Amino acid sequence: MKLIQASKYKVTSDVVHQMVNAWSTVEGMSTSTHPKGRLTLYWVRPGWEEEFDKAMRKQAILLREVSYPYPVEGFRWRLGSPGVNYIAIFPDNWQSFFAQNAVTTYLSQHGRLADFKAIQERISMSVYRTEQHDIDFDAELSF
């Protein structure tokens, strides 16, 4: 905590998330090789947790099947902001992430875009709000 207090950053929220391997394509990644992140936050409708979980599992399976080049990690809310789960994709650079390695472009090139869109529809039905953030990791706060 002292490291965060000594930095130039202000803590604006405090939450606990648990990594969900079934929503992930990797068991871990390093910000030294993948210093960017796209976080997609999902507020799950009460009673739709199981549907959301199933859709996230299918999404991870699909991304593993096509060998999507960027690590993807899924996290389930445990404490803090109520019910906010998220998926993090970790690019090594923004240029390829928004071009040839954009999820929809990559899946389209592998003939799986329709499958992805069906999964996204299931996710959309199970949430009442989403939010997306693109971030660059700060080396002094990353490991």
Ordered by where they begin, the domains of the chain are: 19-136 (3.30.70.100)
Higher pLDDT, 53 or 6: 53
The pair phi, psi for residue 107, each rounded to 5°, is -70, -35
Query: DSSP secondary-structure letter at 20?
Result: E
The model carries a pTM of 0.82
**Predicted confidence band of residue 14 (pLDDT cuts 50, 70, 90):** low
Task: Report pLDDT digits (tens) over 81-128.
Answer: 567 899 999 998 999 999 999 999 999 999 999 999 999 999 999 999
Q: Is the pLDDT of residue 11 over 80?
A: no
